Amino acid sequence: MHFPIRVYYEDTDAGGVVYHANYLNFFERARTEFLRQYNFSQQALFGQSLAFVVKKIEIEYKLPARLDDLLNVETTISEFKKATLVFKQTLWKQDICLSEATVTVASVDLVKMKPVAIPDDIRQALQKINFSI
């Protein structure tokens, strides 16, 4: 899935370069839209006392994004386990890779605050994607 991002003034430091923590926001938005594409909204999941929370993130900054850049976040799932998903995300400016992230999210019961199996409806919907589950 591809998700467009425009860099706004609020995303940058005084020099017009995207502040490093804001890349996490860009990747978070893209993961949310990835799930929404398969008809799973965060709000609906909360209604089921379920959330996907970041368990681990690895990020590599290659080149800076700057004010007014039009970027694209590419999101795929590289691993699918009982209670976790591993997303591979790449931030592009045209055909130039600016950053790459590997994000592991866990399916968590919000009442017990413990990991739970990813619901079958989500698992089945994500099976349509081109990777082995």
- Cα–Cα nearest to 27, from 67, 51, 61: 61
Pairing of the two strands 96-109 and 2-6: unpaired
Catalytic residue selected from 13, 68, 120, 121 = 13
Could you tell me which of 60, 85, 86, 87 has the C-alpha nearest to residue 75? Answer: 87
Residues 6+ apart with CB under 8 A from 28: none
84 DSSP β-pair partners: 106
Q: Is residue 13 annotated as part of the catalytic site, yes or no?
A: yes
Overall residue count recorded for the chain in this entry: 133
Which positions are catalytic?
13
